[in-house]
Amino acid sequence: MGFGSALKQAREAQGRTVQELALATKIRGDYLRALEDGQFHLLPERPFVRSYLQRYARELVLDAAPLLADFDRQAPAINRPERPPVLAQRRPSPVRRWALIGLAGAALLAGGVTAYLALRPAPTVTVTAPPQPAVQTSVLVRLTVSSVPSGARVYLDNRDLGPTPVRSFPVQARERAQLRVEYTGRAPLKEAVTLTRSRNLRATLAPGNAGRSTLTDLSVPKPQATAQAAPPAAEAGASSKPAPTAAVTVTFSGASWTRVTDAQGRVVFEGIPAAGTVKGFASGVTIRTGNAAAVQVSVAGAKAAPMGQTGQVVTRRF
């Protein structure tokens, strides 16, 4: 598989669009499409293309080294200078002959220097340039914002996300971000939020100056109303059964985009968990992952086994 096909397959396996990745990598969308399709004539100079390819691979949690090697094998020479024209051969006088030899030597030396400057590897682009923050560019979380009343304008770090409801908007994971929700005639809401995971927030905007607008995290589960009914049952002599263990246990040993759907096709989990995360699911789930070696599955308490090889996109039902 070529580097372009590997990039495209990894992106589609993660369910992400070119526009989302252009936003995350700060690379033009037409350059990303040209990389996936191998359209070298639409790309800039080689040093920039190699830097884009490395950043794109890091965003998709892929090993950039084999992709760069395949790019160097496939990509045509960029900015190679043409050879100086060969002087017409005559039988000049000895003086003229030595003058021509001197001119030819000077031209060859100049051409060699130019070729060296144009064709030498460009490590300065990837070595001396400021390193890209891997965590912030490679991990995306989803932000959902609703409001009362609906139609309020949502801003994240002064970036306009549009009117509510804003559903599953992809943003870079970070420890702190400034959320602002505004609606004409209502008290605006300004609050710092943590975006290390996907969030589902609801802003209740107070009318005018009648009160303070509030923010509710809908992704936090509410306590069960029947949680305190257990002690009376125990006192009455009812036998308490242990909580059933999950039929399918998934352990993440590394970064891997993963989607889990139940037997009815509904998505019960989607994201890139941190290494060491363990999740449990009911039997009959379908797991699709973009890095099969980092996802280990145990069924009914059996020994966990990886779903496949490193970088392999795998879909299996358990």
What is each CA distance from 108 to 5, 111, 115, 228, 302, in whole angstroms? 41, 5, 10, 89, 70
With 0-12 CB in 10 A as exposed, 13-18 as middle and 19+ as buried, what is 257?
A: buried
pLDDT at position 230 is 46
The residues pairing with 172 across neighbouring beta strands, listed in sequence order, are 140
φ, ψ for residue 104, nearest 5 deg: -65, -40
Average pLDDT over residues 18-34: 92
Given a contact cutoff of 8 angstroms between Cβ atoms, the answer to whether 213 and 203 are in contact is: yes
Give percent above pLDDT 90 in the chain: 41
What pLDDT, on a 0 to 100 scale, did the predictor assign at position 202? Answer: 93
Per-residue model confidence as pLDDT tens digits over 197-236: 999 999 998 887 667 889 999 987 655 554 454 444 434 3
Break the chain down into helix, strand, coil percent, rounded to 5.
Answer: 30, 25, 40
264, amino acid identity: Q
Lowest mean pLDDT among 103-107, 204-208, 291-295: 103-107
Token pair 């096909």 in the structure block, residue: 5
| Greater model confidence, 230 or 56 | 56
Query: Which pLDDT score is estimated for 1?
Result: 67
Q: pLDDT by residue (tens digit) across 255-286? A: 888 999 998 889 989 989 888 999 999 999 99
Chain mean pLDDT for the chain: 80
Q: What is the pLDDT of residue 118?
A: 60
Assessment of whether the complete model's pTM goes beyond 0.75: no
> What is the C-alpha separation between 221 and 100, in angstroms, rounded?
86
Which has the higher per-residue pLDDT, 111 or 172? 172
| The pLDDT value given to residue 231 | 47
Band (120; pLDDT cuts 50, 70, 90): low
Please give the single-letter amino acid code of residue 243: A
Residue 305 has pLDDT above 50, yes or no: yes
Give residue 119's pLDDT: 63
Select from 28, 51, 30 the least CA-distant residue to 41: 30
For residue 96, name the pLDDT band (cuts at 50, 70, 90).
confident
pLDDT score at 280: 92
* C-alpha torsion angle, residues 168, 171, 177, 181 (rounded to 10): -40
Question: Which sign, positive or negative, has the C-alpha torsion 190, 194, 199, 200?
Answer: negative
pLDDT given for residue 102 in this prediction: 73
Name every residue whose Cβ is closer than 8 Å to that of residue 2 and which is 6 or more positions away in sequence: 38, 70, 74
Name the DSSP class of 4. Answer: H
80 neighbors 119 (Cβ within 8 angstroms) = yes
According to the model, what pLDDT value does residue 116 have? 59
Strands 174-182 and 189-195: antiparallel
Contact criterion met (CB below 8 Å) for 289 and 254: no
- Grade residue 27 by pLDDT with cuts at 50, 70 and 90: very high
Q: Measured between alpha carbons, how far is 215 from 202 in angstroms, rounded to an integer?
A: 6
Query: Residue 49 — pLDDT band, cuts 50, 70, 90?
Result: very high
Q: How far apart are the C-alpha atoms of 153 and 180, rounded to whole Å? A: 8
How far apart CA 303 and CA 276 sit, in angstroms, is 16
Given a contact cutoff of 8 angstroms between Cβ atoms, the answer to whether 104 and 87 are in contact is: yes
